[in-house]
Structure 1
Amino acid sequence: MRFWITFTSLLWAVFSTPSLAEQTAYSDSELLDRPLMERYILDELKALRQDQQDLERRLIVQITDRELSVADKSLNYANVTVTYFFYIIAGVASLIALVGWQSLREFKNNTTEMADKRLDSIATVYEKKFGALERDLKRKTHIISENNKEIEKINEIHNLWLRAQSMPTPEQRMDVFDEILSIRPGDLEALTYKADAAMEIREYHWALSLCNRVLELDTSNGPALYQRACAYSRLGVEEQAIEDLEKAMEASPSISDLIDTEPDLEGLHGNPRFDALIPVHNE
């Protein structure tokens, strides 16, 4: 979870723009710095992936070494046990031979039966131990496999975000966001950006529906509240738009930098509640 939070924060830093709709153009220096930032983040992700793979290799080596150590100790213990057992048998046999307690044939049969029972008991104990080790190894292997699958998903989603950034039209970006949602259906960030693309093609009801899906899962999601406010503004529902703006600014204070220049909020200018929000940004 910590890795995912770090990754999401990095993605937000790279892909967030001054406005989720149409904003002021970047300066030349910002355009030059952006590829460097993306390259730095890609290098960091590569390093994290390599660290994960190194950890996996080390874990497998350690598990294998421990299994071999346990097996070696088990076999040594069994060997020592059987050796001492036969020493005892030899002593008892000598004693029986001296006192004439029973015939050699009876002693042989009894000794064979005792040895078989003892060996069966030892084999059963160590069979149970090896079974437990095998189950534990399978469980750990499954965990490693699941982690590898999650890493592959993260890499694939990261590549899709890069593709979405390079798409020239909102429709193409929405197709890429759909691919992300097919991999991770509950990706709230992809839903929010899809709502932004829907606003660009003037599908305000669609954008409103997408924002509602996000807010059902995260009621304090600042970007989703901001996008829904823009959709309400375009649909003429001013009071609801302003209420969402207030919540969005409370959840993400940086949103206050956008409201004065947001084209989708032009219809709110002149509303006393909306105008009261702008000086908070200017102060």
Structure 2
Amino acid sequence: MKNFAKKDELQQYLSGLKADGAVITFVPTMGALHQGHLSLIQQARQLGNIVVCSIFVNPTQFNDPKDLEKYPRPIQDDIKKLEQVNCDVLFNPDVTEMYAGNEKWHLDIGELEGLLEGKFRPGHYQGVTQVVYKLFNIVKPDIALFGQKDYQQVLVIQKMIDLLQLPVKLEMCPIMREPDGLAMSSRNIHLTADDRQRALVLSKALNYVKDHFSPEQVDQLQQEAIAIINNESGVNLAYFEIADGNNLHPANKNTKNFVALVAATVGKTRLIDNMLLKIDE
């Protein structure tokens, strides 16, 4: 695996491969890699012949400086994991390589910015679009892969691609879960043993909705799922929403594409999860 810290060197290397006809697939991450990330690399391998992964803890998407400070950065461990799944290229820049002083950025992504995660983390998606736009310009991927766990982020990035007419195809990959159902996340390492058990209530509530899903009972199912989570001590629910998967508006009788999304703080750790819902044919 080739490792680059400088964008100019990476661009030079990739432009040579592109000239030879390579299809470049790209998995942007903030590191602390787990099997969920590695599944994206493996999927990227199926879709192209050069797989690029970036590891960059992006400061502009953190609302809380303490959250940024404590974000895990086990880079040597991450490198080993990427080598094990045959990643071709790692881009691991410093903050000064990605940002020059007091840059300004604002992209009008519409109401997506203020819904669900956006409401609880103002400015977060501006930071996400800012860094992903930079990374797309550096790597110039044919295909970029993102995990379904950050469902709203996928919609936001697709909106950016459409607005700025970027020549990249977005691929959303399924959530990877632990055997007991917990969605894999870099934040899970902050959970105590007790919190880890309590956190299972999120996937329990999502599975309850999935197993009982009927478009006519959206409101009732949503209330039942909220009750399931609120009955678990040590779990502070931010939201549980059954939404239209295309725009994250609350689902209604005209919705065709349903997704249930949840965010909660378990102990001191904020977790998100979601599940795509299908209507029984």
* TM-score bracket relative to the smaller structure: under 0.3
- Relative contact order: is structure 1 or structure 2 higher (C-alpha 8 Å, sep ≥ 6)? 2
- Which one has a larger percent helix, Structure 1 or Structure 2? 1
